[in-house]
Amino acid sequence: MTGKLKIREVIVVEGKSDTERIHQAVNADTLETRGSAISDETLEYIEELHDKRGVIVFTDPDFSGEKIRKTIREAVPGVKHAFLNRREAVPHGQGSLGVEHASPEAIRAALKNLYTEEPEGEELITKTMLMQAGLMSGADAKKKRQLLGEYLHIGYTNGKQLHKRLNLFQITPEEFEEAMQEITEEL
C-alpha cells in the first residue's frame, strides 16, 4: 500500500465489498456495519474509535446508507462524513448504488471533501432561501438539489432534508450562492 493516501480515521462502510474498494483507493482501516440495522455493540465500537482515532462515515448514496448515517449521527455526534454522488456509485451507469462501484479517484475525492456536523445552532441557510432558489418545488427542483449536493460534496437529499443538511454542515450563505450560480449556469 505504499504511495497511497493514508487516512488516520477509521472509515465506516456498509460491507466487505466497500472495504475492498476503499483499500484500492487509500490506505485506511474500515469498520463494516453489515447493513442498516446497526447493533448497540457496533455503535459503542464506533464511539470508542471516534474518541481514539476519529471516524468517517462513508455509506452508499441510497436510503439504507442515509439510515446508517442518521443512526451513527444520533449515537456518535461529531463524526465526519464523506459523500459520493449517485452517478459515481453506479456500475456502468445503471444498477444498484454503492461505494463498491466507485472509482478510486471518486473515493479519494470524497475523502478530501469531508464534512463534520456541527451541533444545531445558528441557521445559516433558511427555507426561504431554498424556496427562492427553486430547490423545494418546481420543474427542476430535484435536478437542482442533485447538482447542489454534487457541487458542495454533501450528497443528494430530498427537499425536506436539504435544509437540515446544509445547516448541519454549516454551509455559509456565500458558499450556497456560489454553488447556485454554478448550478444555474450548468442548467
Copy the grid coordinates of residue 57.
Answer: 462515515
Residues contacting residue 70 through CB under 8 Å, at least 6 positions apart = none
Burial 171-180, CB ≥16 within 10 A → b, else e:
beeebbeebb
Instruction: Tell me the C-alpha distance between 123 and 111, whole Å.
Output: 26
Provide the pLDDT for residue 119. 63
Note whether 67 and 60 are within 8 A (CB): no
Report how far apart the first and last C-alpha atoms of the chain are (Å, whole number). Answer: 41
Mean pLDDT of 148-159: 89
Give the H or E element holding residue 80: strand 80-81
Whether the pLDDT of residue 174 is over 50: the answer is yes
CA geometry: angle 165, 168, 173, nearest 5 deg: 80
Q: What's the pLDDT tens digit per position in 101-119?
A: 999 999 999 999 898 876 6
Note whether 68 and 57 are within 8 A (CB): yes
How many alpha carbons lie under 13 Å from residue 165 in its C-beta half-sphere?
A: 22
Mean pLDDT of 164-174: 89
What single-letter DSSP state applies at residue 91? G
Closest CA to 29 of 64, 4, 65: 4
pTM above 0.85, yes or no: no
Mean pLDDT of 11-33: 96
Instruction: Tell me the C-alpha distance between 42 and 131, whole Å.
Output: 39
Provide the pLDDT for residue 101. 92
Instruction: Tell me the C-alpha distance between 147 and 149, whole Å.
Output: 5
Whether the pLDDT of residue 1 is over 50: the answer is no
**Which domains are present in the chain?**
1-117 (3.40.1360.10), 121-187 (no CATH)
